[in-house]
Amino acid sequence: MVAGADGAFVPRWRFLAAGESPVRTKLEAASAEGSRVLVEVRLSLPPGRYALAPADSVAGGVTVALGEEARQIVAEVSLPCLADLEGEHCKAKVERRLGELIAARLAVPATAVTAQVVPDSAAVAAARRAAVSAAVGRAARRVVVVGLDGADWELLEPLTRRGFMPNLARLMAAGSWGGLESLTPILSPLIWTTMATGVSPDEHGILDFLEVDAESGARIPITGRLRRVPALWNIASAAGLSPVVAGWWATWPAEAVHGVMISDRLFYLLSDTVGDEQPGTLVFPPQLEWEMRDLAARAARETDEAAVRALMPVSAAAYREAVAAGRGMADPVDGFRRILVGTRTYFGAALAVLRPTTDLLMVYCIGTDEIGHLLAPYLPPLLPGRDEKFGQVAQTAVERYHAAVDRWIGRLMEECPLSECAFVVVSDHGFKWGADRPRELSGVAAATAAVWHRPVGVFVVAGNGVAPLGRVREVPSVYDVAPTVAALLGIPAGTSWRGRPLPGCPPAQRPPVDWVALLPPESYRPSSGAAARPSREAIAQLKALGYLEGGEGGAGTSRVTEGSLNNLGLVHLEAKRYREAEAAFRQAIQANPRYASPHYNLRRLYFETSRFDEADEALWRAVELGLRDAAGAVDRAASEYEARSLPERALGLLARGVALYPHEVRLTVHRLALLVRSGQCAEGLQVGRAAAEAFPTSAAVHAFLGLAAACAGAKDEARAALQRSLTLDPNQPTVTEALASLSR
């Protein structure tokens, strides 16, 4: 401003060079509701002079000159319009109007101006959630999801036929059922979180049984704080529905939902504790926590000697001795007691908070898996070193436990009848209950537990809206569980979900939405920085069950454990993402150089990519570090070389394996068989003679010695060896035929 006539002030205009074109600026505005909005302006100005408002820059001059009118235009429009939630290109119309205003004020062609409206992302997410909720309205039907960890049709089908599980049989008769394909690695926290989120472990972030506490650096059982995507209960809440969640994996601290969440720490089976976390973190809403604590304490108190022995007929002395020792999951009796407490706690809690207004119930039962790890080794056919008398006790306990689980399912069906509710019963994987049970421990993946798991679990869907297809031939996937629940509720699936509704379920009625964008972690994760208590006993129980290899280390500098990195590598390996898999395994080894499992998994990666020398080197390094069932790992690696038509590599592994484990008859038998099959008869005869002395009661050793002798022309020795094999095991048709052939 400068002084003019009569003391008045008049503006003095000056011109500034625009500099490089285009000119960009941002105008701050607000929607009709008051939500923050940015208008991003881009000008491609032709050469010339433009009268803007006084400012220190061309962009500033545009802002001052146009700001007020632009703000008025934006203020007339609702946030749903600016977020493109109202259709008919509402946002584009506003942007076109802004562009026309700017072009007119600057006297430039409309094509020289671009105006883009950018509403506040949090406000847009809230608006989108409101739009989804308004579109969904009421749930299409109530849905009950029952998660039975490790359930397998090999056990469940006979139990339904024999009347132990009549309620499950009723669901099967009324709906559709079959096998459910799991994922790799076959570990519960990863898979149950995939079923709840619809995405793979590398996307949702739950990759281990443990994590590292950010405050103390101690190893703690996995929590929900590492999950990066919303789960079904978050989505149902955002859609205006009312969920109840009880005991699902990795749900501590309890998340805020439009219903009830009972976290997996209310009763923690692995440490035999009721509510052993800071108050206010176990249940949402927190005012229900003390009621749920009392319920869990009562379940623990009432699961006494009489209750346990009613299902597991052991003597009073055996029960008292086991409980006094407190070995938990390392003892079949004390472990069985803990399983009963956990089962009663979570089914009981779910029923206690279930209301007619509950749209979605998700209740998880870990006992159907843990009872297998505890008692399957004692079932017929009896595994080595097991007490035959206790085998009868174990058989009865398994049957009666599953009957108890079925009664809980029946109570849920009473509260939510099939005429108005849809039931979804699923397992994360199957379980080896029969003759294919492992006879020794194994080191595949991380630990021994996964070797008892089958890659195919179970599913049953029945009730309101479900077609009664009976048993179906197709084998859907754990990725299909989240889309099934969404379709049954009538809410949109996620754009990142890879599954589809299970057979017999209605198809999705609404287009998918980006739930990850609508529900960022801060929208559902508890804001309180609750510190989890380290649990040495929980880690010890995980090792006792075979979920941890034993080589995992102590505290670390990151919340990512070496187990998480190892499992991430397995996820990548299964997807044939070899570069990413190798990087993850290397990171696991760097985090803990004494950890055997990633070395073994590198062996598989190198084998699949034909890097055989590196594969063998990785195998022997894993063996050196104490890999569980190292002899079995060598045996399997040799079989894989045979399948690739590389017998000499297989024989090399077996020879070294026999030298390391001279008492492992399976390695000796495998080596003998391969020598015979590859026509190396003289060496086979020499190895067979030594093996017959080392394993005089092995029918298989004598059989292959006989075949090697016959191949080498030593017919008398061949007849004697084959006859000895048949004496040890008469039920060998192939050996009988070989002996008859020699006689002819």
- For 530-583, the pLDDT digits (tens) are 666 666 666 666 665 566 655 555 444 466 899 999 999 999 999 999 999 999
621 falls within a domain: no
Band (628; pLDDT cuts 50, 70, 90)? confident
CATH of the domain at 88: 3.30.479
623 falls within a domain: no
| Average pLDDT of span 216-225 | 85
Query: 113 and 138: one domain?
Result: no
Q: Are strands 360-365 and 2-3 parallel, antiparallel or unpaired?
A: unpaired
393 falls within a domain: yes
Query: 90 and 223: one domain?
Result: no
Query: 339 and 437: one domain?
Result: yes
Query: 344 and 400: one domain?
Result: yes
Q: Which of 86, 119, 152 is the last residue of a domain?
A: 119
Q: Compute the distance between CA of residue 204 and CA of residue 482 in angstroms, rounded to an integer.
A: 13
H/E element, 113: strand 113-119
| Average pLDDT of span 279-307 | 95
Q: Which of 477, 500, 523 is the last residue of a domain?
A: 523
Whose structure tokens read 């510190």? 531
- For 346-355, the pLDDT digits (tens) are 999 999 999 9
233 falls within a domain: yes
Lowest mean pLDDT among 115-119, 603-607, 637-641, 654-658: 115-119
| Average pLDDT of span 322-327 | 91
| Average pLDDT of span 82-111 | 80
Query: 57 and 140: one domain?
Result: no
Q: Compute the distance between CA of residue 518 and CA of residue 129 in angstroms, rounded to an integer.
A: 7
pLDDT at site 39: 86
In the chain, how many domains are there?
2
The alpha-helical segments, DSSP class H, found in 504-662 are: 515-518, 536-545, 562-574, 578-591, 596-608, 612-624, 630-643, 647-660
Q: Compute the distance between CA of residue 473 and CA of residue 35 in angstroms, rounded to an integer.
A: 53
93 falls within a domain: yes
Query: 376 and 438: one domain?
Result: yes
CB atoms within 10 A of CB 415: 17
C-beta of residue 634 within 8 angstroms of C-beta of residue 621: no
* Maximum mean pLDDT: which of 49-58, 448-457, 509-518: 509-518
Mean of pLDDT over the chain? 88
| Average pLDDT of span 314-321 | 96
Cα 262 versus chain centre, distance: 19
- For 240-260, the pLDDT digits (tens) are 999 999 999 999 999 999 999
Residue 43 has pLDDT above 90, yes or no: no
Q: Compute the distance between CA of residue 26 and CA of residue 42 in angstroms, rounded to an integer.
A: 9
Q: Compute the distance between CA of residue 671 and CA of residue 653 in angstroms, rounded to an integer.
A: 9
pLDDT at site 443: 29
CATH of the domain at 467: 3.40.720.10
Q: Percent helix, strand, coil in the chain (nearest 5)?
A: 50, 10, 35
Band (446; pLDDT cuts 50, 70, 90)? very low
| Average pLDDT of span 351-380 | 94
Q: Which domain holds residue 28?
A: 14-119
Q: Give the sheet arrangement for strand 23-30, strand by strand.
A: 23-30, 36-43, 113-119
Lowest mean pLDDT among 109-113, 496-500, 544-548, 579-583: 544-548
Query: 330 and 464: one domain?
Result: yes
Higher pLDDT, 360 or 97: 360
Residue 405 has pLDDT above 50, yes or no: yes
Cis check: omega of the bond before 285, within 30 degrees of 0: yes
CB atoms within 10 A of CB 731: 8
- Tell which phi-psi region holds residue 178, choosing left (phi > 0), alpha (psi between -120 and 50) or beta: left
Q: Which of 73, 91, 119 is the last residue of a domain?
A: 119
692 falls within a domain: no
pLDDT at site 220: 85
| Average pLDDT of span 472-496 | 97
Report the half-sphere exposure of 642 (CA within 13 A, side-chain side): 16
C-beta of residue 647 within 8 angstroms of C-beta of residue 641: yes
Lowest mean pLDDT among 96-100, 486-490, 561-565: 96-100
Query: 383 and 441: one domain?
Result: yes
Query: 407 and 445: one domain?
Result: yes
Query: 115 and 143: one domain?
Result: no
573 falls within a domain: no
622 falls within a domain: no
pLDDT at site 444: 31
Band (56; pLDDT cuts 50, 70, 90)? low
Query: 162 and 259: one domain?
Result: yes
- For 631-681, the pLDDT digits (tens) are 999 999 999 999 999 999 999 999 999 999 999 999 999 999 999 999 999
Residue 17 has pLDDT above 60, yes or no: no
**Backbone phi and psi for residue 273, each to the nearest 5 degrees, phi listed first:** -125, 145
Query: 176 and 57: one domain?
Result: no
pTM for the full predicted model: 0.84
